[in-house]
Amino acid sequence: MSAWMAKLRERAAISPFRSAAAPGSERDSAPGRRPPSPFWIMVQKEFGDHIRSWRFMILLGIVTLACIGSIYASVTALKNGAGASGASGQADAASSFLFLKMFTESDGSLPNFLTFLSFLAPLIGIAIGFDAVNSERNKGTLSRVISQPVHRDDFLNAKFVAGLLLIAVVVFSLGFLVMGMGLLTIGYPPSPEEFWRVVVALIVTTVYVGLWLNLSLLFSVRFRQAATSALSGIAIWIFFLVFYGMIVNLVGNVTAPSDPSDALAVMHQQDWLMLLQRLSPAYLFQEAASTLLLPDVRTLNPFVTQDQAYLALNAPLPFGQSLLLVWPQVVAIVAETALSFAASYVAFMRQEIRSRS
């Protein structure tokens, strides 16, 4: 910590007397080279600390093993499906978007990759940020960093940027792991459209996990003890993952129209329930990721009239149309991520920082 503080102090303290005292130094010999800013020094330090921590390695190992198990289940399902379609003469239809099925298919023994990712990926964000601020405060290093000639908000911004970079590395590594193992096992390369569908889905996943990172940062700023902030983040995660859907179903049962034959009342109630469901970030992510990875999904509306079903083309949506279909969900996830970071930013900037306070 002392070496890092010395490096931060050296980069942040800009003094004209230092350069005048050593005109022939190595720093002056490269006039076009600028030293890195204190912000990026803090980002590098946080990123390195996360990479070397046992907590991150253990959690990454659990997520990786779960993803490998989902790959095995999807490969088994694809082989069984290919054999059945080959026997019935429908191999061409079964091979449509075969590479994307590596992310969405399962033989029933384990959930698919998308389900595992939506279930376990938020834990990475919670694990990265639950003690990001309160641990520095309890160790007394927060006041030492803020006392350096750096902007106060650079501390929290560096925590967020380093965590988001690490999340992006993990998510894209897992996604490319699935793609690589798919190439080795099924021998079917992805088309350009399939590749971009996967890339955009991984970007949406990164933003979604960034939401949980920001929530854990908010709890880390708000609570003094790391255990309290960790339990708060896990409680919110379990609530939206398990209990929120149950609550919405209970609300639907209570507010069900007395006359089931009243189509207008039923549609109004279902629209209201869908709005409640979409307040959950987990539901928004599930809609966005599944639509991007399943080109056969043509609508997210629970009600489709007979005329619409009759006139709809029995063909998968192009990538641009799928992205347009889930654009409101993507914007909502980005907005929730931005709002959670804004809340943690305001809470941190309004706090009084004292030594070991």
According to the model, what pLDDT value does residue 191 have? 86
What are the C-alpha distances in Å from 11 to residues 14, 160, 218?
Answer: 7, 21, 29
List all residues 6 or more positions away from 129 whose beta carbon is below 8 Å from its beta carbon.
Answer: 159, 163, 212, 213, 214, 215, 216, 217, 220, 233
23 Cβ neighbours under 8 A, 6+ residues apart: none
The whole-chain average pLDDT of the chain stands at 81
Q: pLDDT by residue (tens digit) across 303-331?
A: 655 555 545 566 788 889 899 999 999 99
pLDDT at residue number 88: 45
Quote the pLDDT of residue 234.
Answer: 93
How many whole angstroms separate alpha carbon 297 and alpha carbon 334?
22
E strand spans, 282-336: none
Helices (H) and strands (E) counted in the chain, each on its own, are 17, 0
Q: Are 217 and 133 in contact (CB under 8 A)?
A: yes
Please, is 47 exposed, middle or buried when counting C-beta atoms within 10 Å of its C-beta (0-12, 13-18, 19+)? middle
Residue identified by tokens 């191999």 is: 91
CA–CA separation, 255 vs 146, rounded Å?
A: 53
Q: Please state, as a whole number, how many other Cβ atoms lie within 10 Å of the Cβ of residue 322.
A: 23
Residue 169: partners with Cβ closer than 8 Å, 6 or more residues away:
none
State CA 337 to chain mean position distance.
Answer: 10
Note whether 186 and 101 are within 8 A (CB). no
Cα(315)–Cα(260) distance, rounded to whole angstroms? 33
pLDDT tens digits, residue range 178-189? Answer: 888 888 877 778
Q: 19 pLDDT band (50/70/90 cuts)?
A: very low
Residue type, 165: L
In angstroms and rounded to an integer, the radius of gyration of the C-alpha atoms of the chain is 25
pLDDT of residue 28: 44
pLDDT score for 98: 80
42 vs 83, higher pLDDT? 42
Does pLDDT of 119 surpass 70? yes
Q: Which of 42-46, 291-295, 302-306 has the lowest mean pLDDT?
A: 302-306
Of residues 337 and 73, which shows the higher confidence score? 337
- Backbone dihedral region of 97: left (phi > 0), alpha (psi from -120 to 50 degrees) or beta? left
What the block records as the tokens of 335 is 């907005």
Q: Domain-by-domain residue ranges, the chain?
A: 36-349
Burial letters 184-210, b for 16+ CB under 10 A, else e: ebbebebeebbeebbebbbbbbbbbbb
- State how far the alpha carbon of 237 is from the alpha carbons of 3, 23, 158, 225, 232, in Å: 37, 56, 24, 19, 9
